[in-house]
Chains A and B, each alone.
Chain A
Amino acid sequence: MFVYEKKLQYPIHITNPNPKLASLILSQYGGPDGELGASLRYLSQRYVMPYPELKGLLTDIGVEELGHLEMVGTLVHQLTRNLSDDQLENSSFAPYFVDHTTSVYPTAAAGTPWNAAGIGVKGDPMADLTEDMAAEQKARVTYDNILRLSDDPDVNDVIKFLREREIVHFQRFGEAITKLRDRLNQKNVYFMNPSLDL
């Protein structure tokens, strides 16, 4: 069950519309390493996690990622409000605009619609938590790249926040692997799959 709180996790107020920047940031909405994939990855991996601390962590990080999805959608929305004809016609945003106007559609910056092929839900805790650590790194690099491409201080304020969350999540998933190892055969953690064999 989810209950919506009518507020963002982090304040967003983007003064200057910038459709080109919006079309890049959109990748963290529906791209391969974006927040939609992140939340679905963790919230889907939860069901066969055998230990309570791992169920808790995947739930909590998965829910936070939904909050980040809303933040990225807000960035795209505020960057594409009140666009002039000139801003629309002479921007890399035009091909997106023709299909979606200024609504927020889950797609990668290069145009590929969101696809579950970008997330891993394997049903083995060691495999899934290792996937999660890699996923946090990939999202972190995407935010690094957005910071390289953007010089808008209102946008970068928010991107720096989102990027730092990836680092904290990486740390927690790494700790989760230590907790998992403590539960398994100390000589061979690959002896069996605790999601299936316990």
Chain B
Amino acid sequence: MDNQEPELNAEEGAMQTETATPRIPDTQGALPAQGMLANPYVPFQMPDSTQYQPPKGLVRGTLFPGLDLPFMGMVNQQEKDDTPMHELQALGFAIGELGLYLDTHPDDRGALTLFRKYSGLYDQGMAEYQKRYGPLTAGQSMNSDFYTWIQNPWPWDFEQTEAE
């Protein structure tokens, strides 16, 4: 049992949205007043949910404080070091998380804007990373003397690249 945290402080470090009227808490979602018998219902996440920044979202396993429900108070408190690979992983994670959210909320303009912003930063980060440290996809092996795609380390290796 490491990283004990008595209760989840979901708002800490999160981006706050300013709203004039009180809204329902991030941990709750929309449900019909009455539902059909013999049907499963999960509350639908609200469109203006609070979000963590990508580096915090990565270590929490979600961008959404309302869905951050740890086991026995075991919480990853410390964000990953600010390395080029960790930055890519945080952005890639944020894009994937927003992508799943958009699958069920395809007309949420705020989420779409953020998705495009993170995607742009990710593409930029990938290009810079690969120029400096080598290819992350086979097609990016641009060295004319050697097929650098095959070079160690591979993702499962214990040995790490200088970018990590």
CB-nearest residue of chain A to B71: A144
Give the dominant DSSP class at A's interface.
helix
1/0 contact trace for B125-164 toward A, CB 8 Å? 0000000000111100000000001000011101010001
CB-nearest residue of chain A to B80: A11
**Most B CB within 10 A of own CB, among A160, A170, A177:** A160
Of B16-24, B95-103, B109-117, the stretch lying at the interface with chain A is: B95-103
Do residues B155 and A7 form an inter-chain contact, with CB atoms below 8 A? yes
Please, how many angstroms separate the alpha-carbon atoms of A157 and B149 in the complex? 29
With A161-B76, A164-B68, A178-B42 as contacts: A70 and B103 at CB distance below 8 Å: no
Residues of B within 8 Å of A, CB-based: how many? 54
> Chain A contacts of B80 at CB under 8 A?
11
**A interface vs B, CB < 8 Å?**
3-14, 53, 56-57, 60-61, 64, 70, 73-74, 77-78, 81, 130, 133, 143-144, 147, 151, 153, 156-157, 160-165, 167-179, 181, 186-187, 189-190
Q: List 27 A-B contacts (CB under 8 A).
A: A4-B137, A5-B136, A6-B135, A8-B89, A13-B164, A57-B100, A64-B100, A70-B155, A144-B71, A157-B76, A160-B71, A161-B60, A165-B61, A165-B62, A167-B62, A167-B67, A168-B64, A168-B97, A168-B100, A171-B42, A171-B45, A172-B100, A172-B101, A174-B40, A178-B41, A179-B104, A190-B38
